[in-house]
Amino acid sequence: MLTLDRAAQTAQSYIHRVLEEVEKRNPGEEEFQQAVKKILESLVPVFAKHPEYEKQGILERLIEPERLVVFRVPWVDDEGKVQVNRGFRVQFNSAIGPYKGGIRFHPTVNASII
């Protein structure tokens, strides 16, 4: 059995490898990378206590969405001009039932924020 210090080092190493993969797969998505880093770093004690989670690829499964839906929403503004906005819906994990979350519509929203 691993000591707590050794287990924590192993967990940190695993999380570091996963974070590197997130950066490679999601270049330019700083908000997403920052959110993943914050969450994964908080999970070091969990993965230190349960090293079997690494073998099961838990983090690899959680960081990649099952589905990313991008769609357009055409509408007519007050001046009668047609506007087209983009909408996003990211669905990460349906293991325990329906997806949580909503749909975002805003000019500053991109896939990284969701």
Q: Please indicate, yes or no, whether residues 11 and 53 belong to a single structural domain of this protein.
A: yes
Q: Please indicate, yes or no, whether residues 18 and 49 belong to a single structural domain of this protein.
A: yes
Cα–Cα distance between 98 and 30 in angstroms, integer? 27
Q: So what's the pLDDT on residue 22? A: 94
How many CA atoms within 13 Å lie on the side-chain side of 9?
A: 5
Residue 98 lies in a domain: yes
The DSSP code for 60 is H
Q: How confident is the model at residue 3 (pLDDT cuts 50, 70, 90)?
A: low
Q: Please indicate, yes or no, whether residues 73 and 58 belong to a single structural domain of this protein.
A: no
Rounded to 5°, the CA angle 65-34-56 comes to: 45
Backbone angles phi, psi at 71, to 5 degrees: -145, 160
pLDDT in tens, 20-78: 999 999 898 898 899 999 999 999 999 999 999 999 999 998 888 888 888 999 999 99
- State what percent of residues in the chain have pLDDT above 90: 50
The pTM of the full predicted model, rounded to 2 decimals, is 0.69
Q: How many domains does the chain have?
A: 2
Buried-state track 58-96, b at ≥16 Cβ within 10 A, e below 16: bbeebbeeeeeeeeeeeeeeeeeeeeeeeebbbebeeee
Q: Which residues, other chains included, contact 25 with Cβ-Cβ below 8 Å and sequence gap of 6+?
A: 64
- Token readout for 104 is 């975002």
- In this structure, the strands spanning 82-91 and 104-105 are antiparallel
- Domain span at 26: 4-63
Q: Please indicate, yes or no, whether residues 72 and 57 belong to a single structural domain of this protein.
A: no
